[in-house]
């Protein structure tokens, strides 16, 4: 059997070099895997001279292999074809951070998580990351091959952790960031879901009554009174509304679809998105929650990036892209331009008219004391609590308001149907 020279990584991420006998290259790779080695190069002796040499990988933080910049170019992005929910990604980050912090090498940690991951898209992605790291790419380069799953914030934080040799610490910070961001998102969703459900139910009941119940009563009333002109004013209004709804329902459905498509097209434009985001920040009740959540996201993202070692200008660019609101994003862009010119962060923040005085003063203190990252994270914690309080207040206000709205919608229709009955009963009593 021919001899094969190999270069492989052991379970500690250390490089092992040797020679073994095998029937073929695939058999040699299989034998190495049975030896719990991860081959990065396997060449049959006698053919080594004609084979193209590979760059020798060097050990990175916690066993992460490094390669020359661009070594990951040209790799397949097959595993980036799907999307992963933020909660699923949060759990993966926390698990990987825990494994690496406990001393397990990065490659081994990815292999373990790949075997136990239930989500098929993330499972394929983790296996792809492990293969990429095994062949010599850095972890951040491997993550960058999957932009639909790992955004720029994720990739740049990992890159900063690799350069600083504190990958496990950065992953822990990233996991904490994702957990707090998910918690904030859940609060916002909880505040929005209740009124939406109530309004959908109210609309459903109203449509059912107007299209199915009211027409039956209309026919009964016309037969008993002889003419629709004798009906009370409120009843006439409801009857006409019912007739129009039944007569023009396809036009109304088509108009609704056109409005929805038009809204999507409008929001897709830069100016349209800015108008919509401005309205979101100024809507009564909901606008306050939107503003506070956007400020919390800005402060936590920027604070986490800078704390992890990402340069301030690069951190501002990433924060701008993950702001979630065009108005906030434009304000951050002004901050970026100001810092680029060597000026303070405070001036453009104040000029934007978006950030409240408390945020501006805390950022000013952070700059003066050289503790800007810590101050930003404190701002994020404060505004997380503010969002929690705002959501609680919003929910307590909306519950009775929605009940009143639902009662009015049903009550008006029911009253419109009972008024003619009262009139008929009164007429029959007078005849007797």
Question: Which sequence spans correspond to the domains of the chain?
Answer: 3-54, 78-150, 293-386
What is the pLDDT tens value at each position of the chain, 432 positions in all? Answer: 788 888 776 655 566 788 888 888 778 877 877 787 766 677 877 654 344 333 333 334 444 433 333 343 333 333 334 678 888 888 888 888 888 887 888 888 888 888 888 888 888 999 989 888 888 888 888 888 888 888 888 888 888 778 777 788 888 888 888 888 888 788 778 777 877 887 888 888 888 888 888 888 877 777 776 666 677 788 888 888 888 888 888 888 899 899 999 988 988 888 888 888 888 888 877 788 888 888 888 888 888 888 877 888 888 888 887 777 888 888 888 888 888 887 888 888 888 788 888 888 888 888 888 888 889 889 988 888 888 888 888 778 877 888 888 888 888 888 888 887 777 777 666 666
Q: Which CATH number fits domain 293-386: 1.20.81.30, 3.40.50.10860, 2.130.10.10, 3.40.50.720?
A: 1.20.81.30
The answer to whether residues 315 and 177 touch, using CB atoms and an 8 Å cutoff, is no
What secondary structure letter does DSSP report for 57?
A: P
> Model-level pTM greater than 0.75?
no
Q: What is the structure's pLDDT at 258? A: 94
At the topology level, CATH places domain 78-150 in Receptor-associated Protein (1.20.81)
Reported for 142-145, long-range contacts at CB under 8 A and 24+ positions apart, including other chains, are 142/72, 144/72, 145/72, 145/75, 145/77, 145/79, 145/80
d(CA 388, CA 186): 10
Paired strand residues for 7: 17, 41
Predicted pLDDT at 57: 38
Token pair listed for 231: 């009906």
Query: Cα–Cα distance between 432 and 425 in angstroms, integer?
Result: 11
* Rg, Å, the chain Cα set: 32
């Amino acid at each position: 059997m021919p001899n094969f020279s190999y270069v492989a990584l052991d379970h500690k991420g250390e490089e092992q070099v040797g020679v073994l006998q095998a029937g073929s290259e695939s058999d040699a790779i299989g034998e190495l895997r049975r030896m719990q080695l991860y081959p990065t190069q396997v060449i049959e002796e006698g053919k080594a001279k004609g084979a193209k040499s590979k760059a020798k990988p060097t050990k990175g933080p916690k066993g992460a292999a490094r390669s020359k910049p661009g070594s990951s170019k040209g790799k397949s992005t097959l595993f980036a074809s799907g999307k992963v929910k933020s909660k699923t990604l949060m759990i993966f980050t926390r698990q990987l951070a825990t494994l690496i912090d406990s001393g397990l090498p990065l490659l081994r940690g990815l292999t373990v998580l790949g075997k136990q991951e239930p989500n098929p898209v993330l499972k394929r992605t983790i296996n792809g990351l492990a293969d990429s790291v095994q062949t010599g790419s850095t972890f951040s380069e491997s993550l960058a091959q999957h932009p639909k799953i790992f955004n720029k914030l994720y990739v740049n934080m990992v890159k900063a952790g690799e350069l600083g040799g504190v990958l496990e610490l950065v992953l822990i910070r990233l996991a904490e960031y994702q957990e707090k961001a998910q918690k904030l998102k859940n609060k916002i969703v909880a505040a929005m879901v209740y009124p939406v459900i109530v309004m959908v139910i109210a609309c459903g009941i109203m449509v059912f009554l107007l299209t199915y119940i009211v027409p039956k009563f209309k026919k009964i009333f016309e037969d008993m009174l002889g003419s629709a002109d004798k009906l009370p004013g409120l009843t006439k209004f409801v009857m006409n509304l019912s007739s129009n709804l039944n007569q023009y329902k396809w036009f109304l459905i088509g108009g609704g679809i056109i409005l929805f498509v038009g809204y999507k097209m409008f929001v897709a434009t830069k100016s349209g998105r800015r108008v919509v985001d401005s309205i979101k920040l100024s809507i009564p009740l909901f606008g306050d929650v939107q503003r506070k959540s956007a400020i919390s996201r800005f402060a936590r993202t920027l604070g986490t990036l800078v704390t992890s070692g990402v340069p301030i200008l690069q951190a501002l660019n990433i924060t701008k892209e993950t702001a979630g609101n065009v108005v906030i994003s434009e304000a951050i862009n002004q901050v970026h331009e100001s810092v680029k010119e060597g000026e303070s962060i405070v001036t453009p923040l104040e000029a934007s008219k978006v950030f409240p005085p408390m945020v501006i003063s805390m950022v000013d203190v952070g700059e003066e004391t050289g503790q800007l990252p810590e101050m930003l994270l404190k701002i994020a914690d404060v505004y997380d609590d503010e969002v929690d309080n705002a959501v609680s207040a919003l929910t307590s206000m909306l519950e009775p308001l929605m009940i009143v709205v639902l009662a009015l919608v049903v009550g008006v229709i029911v009253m419109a149907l009972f008024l003619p009955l009262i009139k008929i009963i009164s007429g029959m009593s007078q005849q007797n």
